[in-house]
Structure 1
Amino acid sequence: MDGGTLYSIGELAQRTGLTVKTIRFYSDRGIVAPADRTHAGYRRYAPDAVARLALVRTLRGLGLGLDVIRRVVDQELTLSEVAAEHAAALDVEISILRLRRAVLTAAAQREPTPEEMELMHQLATLSEAERRRLIDDFLDTVFGGLHTGSLYAAARRSMTPELPDNPTDQQVRAWVELAELTLDPDFRASVRRLTEDHAAHLPVGSPTPPRPDTIAVARDLVGPAVACGITPDSPQADPVVAALTAHCAQAHGCPDDAEPHCRLLDRLEAASDPRRDQYFQLLALINDWPAPERLAPLIDWSVTALRIRAAR
């Protein structure tokens, strides 16, 4: 058809797939104005109304409001400007929906009380500054007042979660779980005891690096034994326990300690809290780090082996 052809609202509906009611609504809103009217008052539309309505349908399908659509079809706004603005709004909405889904998924797995549900929601929706304050408070409890210089400054950094700007559902759930851990007074006290015990055996003012701590040595000595299937009550475990005990005595400046097993047992029992492993597993997930080795099985092996020998 040539450019002088005008369409009735019914013909326009057939060409666009929209209903007469919808086209009339758009027309009343000034989005697709009629080019003329018949003597009886019926609307007639120019051929370009087909293209305009196709654009309107597309933009409505993308969720844009009618006021914005009218400005686009009237060329008051460019499509790129609208697309960028709408994409940014969708990013915010998607982030909110992701947080909600993460909280609901975590709740479905845990059967929380109403109070726990509220806490989970609050933790998931904290701002970046609020998350930082929560973690800083936890780390201040763990490391505060020890005056151990760069060694514990580095340890503090290595325990700091950094939730990305666009976290996955899994990272959000991990953040909620880690944040709940940091608010647990018993967990705070447990980690603080480990830190104080470690700091108590550091050489004050010495420029030499500290010896590997008991947990690291247990990992290095016990790990191969566990991997080989050596049980803590077997004779093959004796040299492993002896090496572990000797290191502990030497590292703490008491090679002639009469009760090295008991001394080492106290340290490992303090480190056997499974929540420690849980914290570092969650931390790695949030920060997108490689999953750390779980130390609880090695510490449990060491504790069992030491108890057996202490009882002999």
Structure 2
Amino acid sequence: MKFLQIILFFLFCSLSAQKILPLDSLKLKEAGDMLADDYGNLYIYKNKDFSFTKYDSTGKQIGKMMLTVPFKPQNVQNPLSVALFSENAQELKFVDQNLNEIQRIDFKQKFSFIKYAYAEDLQQIWLMDESTKRLLQYNFRNETTINSYPFDANFDDLIDLLVFDNKVYVLTKKQFRVFTLRFEKLFEADLENGKRFRRENDVIMIIAKNTIFSYNSGKELVKIFEDPDAQIVDKNTLAYFEIKANKLYLYTLENNKAPKPQTEPEPIQKENKNLDESEDKKEQPDLIKLIEEVSEVQSLGVEHL
């Protein structure tokens, strides 16, 4: 009976870990990218018609933009102000929670050619100016350049850019690299099919086609989610999301049952476990001895009385 209960428990965990969200497969068809904010809203970008659409967790459409040229949506962690950059149009747009445009920044008026723009907050953006080979920290509210850093690296295949804690994170078609603001290389790793960065507090993550990586304290990339059959993957602070066979799946972080586990337990953990077990066996006779001594003292006390 106890064995049956254990089986039912693990079966329940695997079923509860994966959930199909009620989004029509037609809405997911031909999706080029998907992003999820922390309220459970989903953003679908389609390369075919350059449309950018927002849905709530029930599949209801909240807003839609029809763009005339390709735009790359950045993170949606602040759904009140979502940034989209277009290298073709040399523009950065900010849209509100209903995907209404609230501000547009035209780089053609002030710069030669911006390879990429990363919106740090609601005042400052980082610009990769390809013509002058400089990384610029730019305040778009008062249209002033705060800092300018020279770089001599080739970023023709640049996919995404993030600046945080005086470090520059660069994602290209085949690599992930970390630099200082002086463009001294701190880390480099081969990585294909990368799409964008996501930052949660001090943790930098990389969203790839069907894999999500975490950058571990400047030492290594750790795979935290993978499904080879997924068309698109993403995450928010509570769950992982994936589109597979034109259906939307959610995996909770508490009961994450990603198709491939992260890593096997480290050998040192197994050794510690054995050590704990041996210590338990060693301490068990001492405990029995102590109980016997207490009983003997109590019996002697009763006889004396």
TM-score bin (small chain) = under 0.3
Q: Which has the larger radius of gyration?
A: 1
- Relative to its length, the structure with more strand (as a share) is 2
- Relative to its length, the structure with more helix (as a share) is 1
